[in-house]
Amino acid sequence: MEEKRKIMELLPKGVTYYKANLHCHTVLSDGKMTPEEVKKHYQEKGYQVLAITDHDHYGDHRELCDENFVAIAALETDINQAGDMLWNYRRTWHMNWYDTCPDQDKEIKEALGRPEVPYEDMDAVNAYVEKMTKLGFLGCYNHPYWSLQTCDEYTKLKGMWGMEIYNHGCEMDGLNGYHPQSYDEMLRSGQKLFCVSTDDNHNSMAIDGGLYDSFGGYIRIGAQSLTYDGIIDALKKGNFYSCCVPDGQGEAPEILEFMMTGNHVHVKCTPADKIFLKTMGRNCHRASAKPGETITEANFELNGEEGYIRLEITDGKGRHTVSNAYFPG
């Protein structure tokens, strides 16, 4: 009798997918909008979740939460290379921290600022990551290209929940926003972490000028409920995927199904141009629409040599969708 093949939902079904920006600055650091203004700005574009990550300033903005919106308590911290070199050439660690338990250790969190950690001391950097994780934060490593960091540096960073695969603000600054190779290098170094697409918006440019830093990087979170705990639970589990829209217009393809049955991978999505199932090596499973047509599903057979798999879907217009990495077997 043939053994029943195991079915695994890589992205959960039976949940609602909420649109979220996990990197946002306000007037509390170097942004141009108040927290109330950024909530309104993003809600008008169909977002339900926002993490306000002001520089070295812990912000618990749960007063913005309602039945249609969740504001995640968060901050971004910087560890900068010392010396008298120009800022333009100085390397830096930027990390976002998402608070999973904002009602705990309030006084400690409200006192958080720029960490006094030497940039080159990786033991100290990783000890800082461990300290923040023990406080209940999910740590996200930000924009490695903009930070002028190399594989030799960031693969020594340990204990992060995730990292940015796309940062829209950095893309608008100078095409430093999309870094899939950095994500692959982290995975190949043995780390298992998620990837997110974010805005990192400051809103200093004209909204109609072509370099606006909102609405280009977001994730879709598959959660049981639009509540603080529901969103955090989905983030912890990796129940989300990333969307990259470099021109800030329209939507990237949506993933409707992503599942494995034995060694068989099934993908279903909104109309797209190409579907790639990337792996740890150079080999890639792929499917494509014919010129002038679209594709909405693909099926791939794994051969056991993949190491990990991650999905990338393109729409032929510059927009693309990226999944987290999964480790079959």
| 280 in any annotated domain | yes
| 136 in any annotated domain | yes
| 7 in any annotated domain | no
| 5 in any annotated domain | no
| 10 in any annotated domain | no
- Dihedral-angle region of residue 190 (phi above 0 means left; psi in -120 to 50 means alpha; beta otherwise): left
Tokens 């997918």: give the residue. Answer: 17
- Residue 47 shares a structural domain with residue 123: yes
- Residue 246 shares a structural domain with residue 295: no
Cα–Cα distance for residue pair 72/65, rounded to 1 Å: 9
Look up the CATH number of the domain holding residue 124.
3.20.20.140
Provide the domain limits for residue 177: 15-250
Please write the tens of the pLDDT for every residue from 86-117. Answer: 999 999 999 999 999 999 999 999 999 999 99
| 119 in any annotated domain | yes
255-261/320-323 β-pairing: unpaired
Please write the tens of the pLDDT for every residue from 214-273. Answer: 999 999 999 999 999 999 999 999 999 999 999 999 999 999 999 999 999 999 999 999
* Tokens standing for residue 237: 């589990």
Cα–Cα distance for residue pair 309/128, rounded to 1 Å: 30
Cα–Cα distance for residue pair 85/75, rounded to 1 Å: 27
User: Cβ(112)–Cβ(58) under 8 Å?
Assistant: yes
Query: Pick from 234, 250, 266: which residue ends a domain?
Result: 250
Cα–Cα distance for residue pair 206/44, rounded to 1 Å: 17
Cα–Cα distance for residue pair 68/237, rounded to 1 Å: 22
| Long-range pairs, 28-31, Cβ under 8 A, ≥24 | 28/52, 28/54, 28/57, 28/59, 29/54, 29/55, 29/56, 29/57, 30/55, 30/202, 31/201, 31/202, 31/203
| Count of structural domains, the chain | 2
- Residue 188 shares a structural domain with residue 61: yes
Look up the CATH number of the domain holding residue 305.
2.60.40.10
- Residue 217 shares a structural domain with residue 260: no
Query: Pick from 205, 231, 250: which residue ends a domain?
Result: 250
Output the pTM of the full model: 0.96
3-state secondary structure of 13: coil
- Residue 258 shares a structural domain with residue 233: no
- Residue 239 shares a structural domain with residue 319: no
| 315 in any annotated domain | yes
Contacts of 273 (CB under 8 A, 6+ apart): 288, 289, 294, 295, 314, 315, 316, 317
Please write the tens of the pLDDT for every residue from 46-81. Answer: 999 999 999 999 999 999 999 999 999 999 999 999
Please write the tens of the pLDDT for every residue from 152-189. Answer: 999 999 999 999 999 999 999 999 999 999 999 999 99
264-272/70-72 β-pairing: unpaired
